[in-house]
Chains A and B, each alone.
Chain A
Amino acid sequence: MNRTWFDWRTGVVVLAFAATACLPWFVSGYWLGVLTISSYVAVYAMAWDLLFGYGGEVNFGPTFLIGLGAYGAGMSNTFLGWPVWVSIPVGTLAAVIGGLALVGPALRLKGPYFGLVTLVAVLLLSQVINMFAGYTGGEIGLALRDILTISSTGNFYYAFGLMTITALVLRILVRSPLGLILEASGQDTTATEALGFSVTKFKILAFVISAFFSGLAGAMTVFYFGTASPGTVVAVAVTIQIIIATIIGGRRSIIGSILGAVFLIVAGEFLRPVGQLSSTLVAVLALLVLVFAPNGFISVFGARRERKA
């Protein structure tokens, strides 16, 4: 890799992050709110991309992990009365356990079949939420006792901070030897094993890390909203949003996931005046990107190009 170029790009990205961090001095609480949500979705997308883009796992159930984090945290707060800073780790832990539960099927099943298992996991989770409505609030959701903060600037910094940390950690990870091995095993498990790597170990790691960030972001999201409901953290619509954000931003790219998430949410807000069809328009835009530039914004900007293998 050409080091000078590498630094150039990093410089631009660091500048963009720094500029964003200064936004609370310039923009309204509403746009901070939009960016707060974008940041959480960006974390979901990055965590998903770690499994899909880097690890080669077709996971159609990111909301299984997010939902576990969200409900784990929400229920500890509402029913056990635990404070926010205890509930969030509890939710994160629940997500990590859920992530570990997915490792088995991931090792056993290939591609779309694993995808189906994850999809079913989400459907079962929502069934469980509805069945135990007494504890989960069922389809209308759970009102939490506490929230992170009521200040939109505070919320923005929580979310933006989480996103920045996630991006940093994942970036270090994917550029490290671990990332190399993970990517190799996602591409060709057998060949990677033959180089002497016990792929299982690395898959577990990938799932744990992805679940950790998904769960953490899910838990923080519900403490941002003040409620946990299936529509915001479990529904298939959320999964679709995450997958689309990652792919249109550019998979196998941390910045790509962030760009995709911000684009999806911000475009939705820009198009709000269009009225009822605004979300449909966003879907059309996303489909156009998917079909005609499947490598996402990142490739359109010319940062990376991959050839057909």
Chain B
Amino acid sequence: MRSFSGMSRSLATAVVVAGGVLCSALVMPTARAAEPISIGVIAPESHVLGKSIFNAAELAADEINKAGGINGRMLELHKYNNNFSAADSSRAFQRAVQQDGVVAMMGIFTSEVALAMMPWASRLQTPLLVTGAASSEIPAGVKANPERYKYVFHSYVNSAILAQESCIVANATLTQSDKFKGFNRAVIFSEDAAWTKPVDESYLKCLPKVGIKVVDHIRFSPDTTDFTPIYSRIKKADANVIMAAVAHVGVKPVIQWKQQEVPALFTGINGQAGSSKFWAATNGATEGVITGTPGLNGAPLTDKTPAFFKAYTKRFDIGEPAYDAYTTYDAMYALKDALVRSDGGGDADKLVKALEKTDFTGVLGRVAFHGTGDDYAHEVIFNQDPTKGQSFVAFQWQDGKQVIIWPEKLAKGKIRLPAFVSQSQK
């Protein structure tokens, strides 16, 4: 045992040293020379959807800088990995604003994180553009408290709209078609998550309207690993359409759907199936799966889409851009326009005002935000017509490719039934 004085001395030294290190770290310069404009991007780096957010932002920033930046000032991107954690994100947001001096933050595809960051946007008085999460709570929050949440913009449509569009797709491709009109008995198949609640409501309302009967409604935990009981129920209900609302899960239900040869068409919203890597991830089990998404393998929604698609796939080796790459890319340009119009975004309120006035044509269609008085406050305006708002396509996996089946204008093919689905049709 050491002597008391020795101990106290070593402890004191330790505390002093630790304190010194801490202080020197804490008083690092907070504001840098104002030449470049800093923008923060936040997402989980380990996830495909996170990577595509970072990539799209990087791509857009480079393009903008190459084109002369914001009135001559360059954009500087700061990337923050949040590990899916809300607490981590709020810390990163503070660092971004108070340490790295960003004028706006964008990214995020998980609703928990998006919701947790909203209060911080108002506290840090920094615009936040949510580009990947679909929860309708985001615009609802802005509408309920526009004064506080005016900094929050949602540059991706909310899940209720996604559901509506899926109904429209089902109507157009199934009930309106002679060949597939027998596909009119649907099961709603949703992961138990907040974003699917409005989806379910929407499905329940719109499916009967388009002549599809809802024969069962299944919500399951996102932790579900074995889908046998669920598929057994679907078979029993004698359904031939699965109207899905899945994003946290994706690979597992699709693989088991194929393995167990569930005789129902897999359609609706399947977040992960939108990724070009989904074929490999499911080892091809996704053959025949239909899903809707805002943008897809460069489908020329606008004249800017193909160029973006080409630049993205050329630059990054992670495959084709996922949906949130399109939305993030558009959000970057929305931000750029607003920065130009608000003198570099030094004043956050001015920047918000400028963002509210956004109106240009992006890669998913026209980009403009709803006013705070609208139902979908500060959300990007949606319209089936790309010249009027963010748009939507539906595709089916066929032979390893995502083949667009809707809207007709862009369609590259027709629905093909997997063998085990068509067999069941008399």
> Which residues in B have their C-beta under 8 angstroms from that of A13?
15
Chain B CB within 10 Å — which of A229, A231, A259, A272 has the most? A231
> Which residues in A have their C-beta under 8 angstroms from that of B135?
140
Chain A CB within 10 Å — which of B10, B95, B222 has the most? B95
Interface size on A, residues (CB 8 A): 55
Q: Is the CB of B15 within 8 A of A140?
A: no
Q: Is the CB of B94 within 8 A of A227?
A: no
Question: With A5-B8, A279-B83 given, is the CB distance from A302 to B2 under 8 Å?
Answer: yes
Answer whether residue A303 sits at the interface, using C-beta atoms and an 8 A cutoff. yes
Chain B CB within 10 Å — which of A130, A139, A269 has the most? A139
Q: Is the CB of A232 within 8 A of B116?
A: yes
The residue that B8 contacts in the complex, of A8, A269, A279, with Cβ under 8 A, is A8
> Which residues in B have their C-beta under 8 angstroms from that of A259?
18
CA of A303 to CA of B11 in the docked complex: distance in angstroms?
A: 6
Q: Is the CB of B193 within 8 A of A9?
A: no
Q: Is the CB of B11 within 8 A of A232?
A: no
How many B residues touch the partner, as a band? 35 or more
Nearest-neighbor residue (CB-CB) of B94 within chain A = A33
Q: In whole Å, how far is B111's beta carbon from the nearest beta carbon of chain A? A: 4
CA of A305 to CA of B25 in the docked complex: distance in angstroms?
A: 31
CA of A266 to CA of B46 in the docked complex: distance in angstroms?
A: 22
The residue that A305 contacts in the complex, of B1, B45, B222, with Cβ under 8 A, is B1
Answer whether residue B371 sits at the interface, using C-beta atoms and an 8 A cutoff. no
- Where chain B touches its partner, the secondary structure class is helix
> Which residues in B have their C-beta under 8 angstroms from that of A152?
94, 98
Q: Is the CB of A140 within 8 A of B90?
A: no
Q: Is the CB of B112 within 8 A of A229?
A: yes
B residues 1-57 touching A (CB-CB < 8 Å): 1-2, 4-8, 10-12, 14-15, 18-19, 22-23, 25-28, 30, 45-46
Answer whether residue B302 sits at the interface, using C-beta atoms and an 8 A cutoff. no
Q: Is the CB of B120 within 8 A of A37?
A: no
Q: Is the CB of B193 within 8 A of A138?
A: yes
Q: In whole Å, how far is A114's beta carbon from the nearest beta carbon of chain B? A: 25
Question: With A150-B122, A231-B87, A301-B11 given, is the CB distance from A28 to B195 under 8 Å?
Answer: no
The residue that A27 contacts in the complex, of B10, B12, B27, B80, with Cβ under 8 A, is B27
Q: In whole Å, how far is A28's beta carbon from the nearest beta carbon of chain B? A: 4
Q: Is the CB of B10 within 8 A of A301?
A: yes
Question: With A5-B8, A152-B98, A301-B14 given, is the CB distance from A141 to B115 under 8 Å?
Answer: yes
Q: Is the CB of B193 within 8 A of A28?
A: no
- Where chain A touches its partner, the secondary structure class is helix
> Which residues in B have their C-beta under 8 angstroms from that of A137?
115, 194
Q: Is the CB of A226 within 8 A of B112?
A: no
Question: With A150-B123, A301-B14 given, is the CB distance from A34 to B98 under 8 Å?
Answer: no
Nearest-neighbor residue (CB-CB) of B149 within chain A = A143
The residue that A226 contacts in the complex, of B25, B26, B95, B120, with Cβ under 8 A, is B120
Q: Is the CB of A12 within 8 A of B120?
A: no
The residue that A140 contacts in the complex, of B11, B12, B19, B115, with Cβ under 8 A, is B115
Question: With A150-B123, A226-B118 given, is the CB distance from A27 to B46 under 8 Å?
Answer: no
Can you list 9 A-B contacts with CB-CB less than 8 angstroms, sorted by A residue number?
Answer: A8-B8, A13-B15, A26-B27, A30-B99, A133-B192, A139-B194, A147-B123, A227-B115, A302-B11
